[in-house]
Amino acid sequence: MNNKLIIDFTPTGMIPTKKMTPHVPIDSSEIIEDVHKACELGITKVHLHARELESGVPTYKKEIYGEIIEGIRKYVPDLVICVSLSGRNFSELHLRADPLNLEGNLKPDMGSLTLSSLNFNRVASVNSPDMIVNLASIMKEKGILPELEAFDSGMINFSKYLEKKELIKPPFYFNLLLGNIAGAQADLLHSGLMINDLPKNSIWSLAGIGDNQLKMNSISIAIGGGVRVGLEDNIWYDHNRTKLATNVDLIERIHIIAKANSREIMSSSEFRNIMKLKPGNGKYGLIDN
C-alpha cells in the first residue's frame, strides 16, 4: 500500500443533529464550508451525506447532493467526492441510487456500497443481495467507483462474490468500520483479520464508531492504512465526553498523529491515479467508462 495517508472525511452522516452537537454541518452551505476548511488542512476525499433543507433529516435527493457538490467543486475541483447510498432510511432502489444520476460537473466519483445488512444500536441498515448487486451494476454502468463498506469479515467475502460476477473490479477501496454493536469490534484482532481477508489490489481505511474513532485511526496510521474521520462517526473530542469536537478538531489531530508517524497526506490527485479515476477539474468518475 502507498505509504501516504488517505484521509477520508465524513462531515455529517445520518445521525448527528444540532441538538446533539452545534458543530455538525446540516444544510448544504454548512457542509460546503466544512469541506472547504478540511481541504485547507489537507484531506484525500470526502464522503457526503445530504440533509433536507428545512427539517435536517437525511435525504437521497440528487438535487441537494448536486448543490453540495457544486459548492465544493467551485473551491476544490479535483477533490474526490463520494455520495452516500445508505439503506438506513431508504429501501427503494430508485431512491438510494438517485445521487448516481448526477452528471457533468456534478457527477460523483464514488458511491458508498455497504456489503450486507447490519444492525446499529436502534435501527437496521437493510442491504439485500439484490440491492447490493443492483447498486453495483448502476455504478458500473455510470462509471462510478464503489466505496466498499465492511463492518465485518463476511462483508469482505461478499465483495469477492461481486468481483467474481464482474460487477466490481480492482483496484478496490474499502472503509473498514469497527466498533459497531453488531459488527467487528474495535481491536487489533478484528482489524487484522479483516485487512488480511481483503481481495488483492485493495487499499483501505479504518474507521472507529464513537469513542473508538481515535483508537482505530491511530492504529491505522501506525500500520500503514488510511483513516475515515469526522462527526459522522464520533461527535466527541475526548473519551470522557467533556468536549464536543468540530470536524476541524478531528482532522487537525489526525495531522498531528500522521506527522509523528512520518506519514504524508495523500492528495486527491494521487488517489485518483491509484484508483484509476479521471483527473477532476471537470472530469469525474472512472477513466475506463
pLDDT on residue 13 = 95
Task: Provide the domain limits for residue 233.
Answer: 7-275
Using the structure block, give the residue that is written with the C-alpha cell 489531530: 253
User: To the nearest 10°, the Cα dihedral for 123, 129, 135, 141?
Assistant: 170
20-to-5, 16, 17 alpha-carbon distances in Å: 30, 6, 5
- Whole-angstrom distance, CA of residue 36 vs CA of residue 229: 15
Domains contained in the chain, number? 1
Residue 286 lies in a domain: no
Residue 64 lies in a domain: yes
Take residue 38 and report the three cell numbers written for it: 478540511
Take residue 184 and report the three cell numbers written for it: 467487528
- Whole-angstrom distance, CA of residue 153 vs CA of residue 190: 8
Residue 284 lies in a domain: no
Residue 285 lies in a domain: no
Residue 109 lies in a domain: yes
Taking the chain (289 residues) in runs of 10, the rounded mean pLDDT of each run is: 89 96 97 98 98 90 97 98 89 95 98 94 89 98 98 97 98 98 95 97 97 97 98 96 98 98 98 98 92
Residue 282 lies in a domain: no
Residue 192 lies in a domain: yes
Residue 114 lies in a domain: yes
CATH of the domain at 220: 3.20.20.70
Strands (DSSP E) found in 42-157: 45-48, 50-51, 58-59, 80-83, 110-114, 118-119, 124-125, 145-150
